[in-house]
């Protein structure tokens, strides 16, 4: 029987982004689950745009800082290392700010809703 070899890496390796774009690295993908490392360097969600995802999303800031606004809340949430959020599917949100002076490293877990 053939086994898949273990995978490993470093969440803080190669924190470069190109042309002002955020970097998205999929670390694990299964049928309804995706684990992604995101590296931001001053990026924000475009003005008047909102993320409205079909999946639940749990994320944590590992390094750096960000402000995330949830639709309907008066102020954006300040996030630093260790801060996490669980956004249920279709919870509209946007990134208002990420630290432009140092990479902000996020770990995001997207989990699809099972059809029951």
Q: What is the pLDDT of residues 13-33, one digit of tens each?
A: 998 876 678 999 999 999 999
Kindly state whether residue 2 falls inside one of the protein's structural domains.
no
Asked whether 107 and 11 are in contact (CB, 8 A), the reply is yes
In a domain, 95, yes or no: yes
In a domain, 15, yes or no: no
pLDDT band for position 113 (cuts 50, 70, 90) = confident
How many domains does the chain contain in total? 1
Residue 90 included in any domain: yes
Average pLDDT of the segment spanning 42-49: 92
Could you give the CA distance from residue 68 to residue 78 in angstroms, rounded to a whole number?
A: 7
The answer as to whether 57 is a domain residue is: yes
Q: Would 11 be classed as within a structural domain? A: no
The arrangement of strands across the sheet holding 66-70 comes to: 77-79, 66-70, 93-98
CB 30 within 8 A of CB 4: no
Global confidence as pTM: 0.88
The CATH number of residue 49's host domain is 2.60.120.10
- 3 part of a folded domain: no
- Residue 65 belongs to domain spanning: 23-111
13 domain residue, yes or no: no
């Amino acid at each position: 029987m053939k086994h898949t070899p273990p995978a490993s890496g470093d969440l803080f390796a190669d924190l470069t982004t190109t042309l002002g774009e955020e970097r998205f690295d999929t670390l694990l993908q299964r049928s309804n689950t995706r684990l992604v490392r995101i590296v931001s360097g001053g990026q924000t969600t475009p003005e008047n745009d909102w993320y409205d995802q079909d999946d639940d999303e749990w994320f944590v800031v590992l390094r750096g800082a960000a402000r995330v606004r949830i639709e309907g809340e008066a102020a954006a949430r300040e996030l630093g290392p260790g801060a996490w959020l669980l956004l249920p599917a279709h919870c509209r949100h946007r990134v208002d700010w990420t630290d432009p002076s140092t990479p902000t490293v996020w770990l995001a877990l997207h989990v699809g809703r099972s059809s029951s």
